[in-house]
Structure 1
Amino acid sequence: MKIVVIGGTGLIGSKLVTKLGEHGHEAVAASPNTGVNTITGEGLADALAGASVVIDVSNSPNWEDAAVLEFFETSTRNLLAAEAEAGVGHHVALSVVGTERLLESGYFRAKLAQENLIESSSIPYSIVRATQFFEFVPSIADAATQDGKVHLAHVFFQPIAGEEVAQAVGRVAVAAPLNGQAEVAGPDRFRMDEFFRQVLAAGNDSREVVTDPDAMYYGISPAESALVPDGDAILGETSYTTWSGRAAADS
Structure 2
Amino acid sequence: MRIAVAGATGNIGRLTVAALERDGHDVVGISRSLGVDLLTGDGLDTALDGVESVVDVTNAPAADRAGTLAYLGAATRNLLAAEERAGVRHHVLLSIVGIHGIEGNAHYAGKREQERLVSASPVPWTIVPATQFHDFAAMVAGWSDRDGVATIAPLLVQPIAPADVADVLAEIATGEPQGRYADLAGPEPQDLVDMARRTNAARGKTVRLVPTWSALFGLEMAGNALLPGEGARIAPTTFDEWLAGQR
Aligned counterpart, 1:52: 52
Counterparts of 2:154 and 2:29 in 1: how far apart (Å)?
Answer: 39
Identity within the alignment, %? 36
SS in 1 for 2:246: helix
1:74 aligns with 2:74: yes
Tell me which stretches of 4 or more aligned residues in structure 1 moved more than 3 Å: 142-155, 191-212
Query: Could you tell which deviates more after superposition, 86-95 or 146-155?
Result: 146-155
Query: Could you tell which deviates more after superposition, 203-212 or 177-186?
Result: 203-212
Kindly report the root-mean-square deviation, in angstroms, between the aligned alpha carbons of the 2 structures. Answer: 2.3
CA displacement at 1:207 relative to structure 2 = 4.5
Counterparts of 2:217 and 2:147 in 1: how far apart (Å)?
Answer: 17
Q: How does 1:1-251 map to 2 (within 5 A)?
A: 1-143=1-143, 151-152=151-152, 154-196=154-196, 198-199=198-199, 207-209=207-209, 215-216=213-214, 218-221=216-219, 222-248=221-247
Counterparts of 1:211 and 1:66 in 2: how far apart (Å)?
Answer: 28
1:219-251 CA-to-partner distances (Å, cap 9, x unmatched) read 432131111112222222122222122132xxx
Q: Judging changes above 3 Å, is the alpha-carbon distance between structure 1 residues 147 and 216 closer, same or farther for their aligned structure 2 residues?
A: farther
1:237 partner letter: P
2:184 partner letter: V
- Does the CA-based 8 Å contact 1:157-1:192 persist in structure 2? yes
- Does the CA-based 8 Å contact 2:77-2:117 persist in structure 1? yes
Counterparts of 1:9 and 1:204 in 2: how far apart (Å)?
Answer: 27
Counterparts of 2:2 and 2:202 in 1: how far apart (Å)?
Answer: 43
2:218 partner letter: I
Q: Judging changes above 3 Å, is the alpha-carbon distance between structure 1 residues 41 and 232 closer, same or farther for their aligned structure 2 residues?
A: same
Q: Judging changes above 3 Å, is the alpha-carbon distance between structure 1 residues 175 and 193 closer, same or farther for their aligned structure 2 residues?
A: same
2:132 partner letter: Q
Count of paired positions: 246
Q: 5+ unaligned residues in a row in structure 2: which ranges?
A: none
CA displacement at 1:61 relative to structure 2 = 2.2
2:106 partner letter: G
Counterparts of 2:20 and 2:201 in 1: how far apart (Å)?
Answer: 37
SS in 1 for 2:245: helix
CA displacement at 1:111 relative to structure 2 = 0.9
Counterparts of 1:217 and 1:199 in 2: how far apart (Å)?
Answer: 24
Counterparts of 1:204 and 1:33 in 2: how far apart (Å)?
Answer: 32
Q: Judging changes above 3 Å, is the alpha-carbon distance between structure 1 residues 203 and 33 closer, same or farther for their aligned structure 2 residues?
A: closer
Q: Judging changes above 3 Å, is the alpha-carbon distance between structure 1 residues 129 and 43 closer, same or farther for their aligned structure 2 residues?
A: same
SS in 2 for 1:182: coil
SS in 2 for 1:127: strand
1:72-113 CA-to-partner distances (Å, cap 9, x unmatched) read 111111111111111100000111111112221121111101
SS in 1 for 2:135: helix
CA displacement at 1:129 relative to structure 2 = 1.2
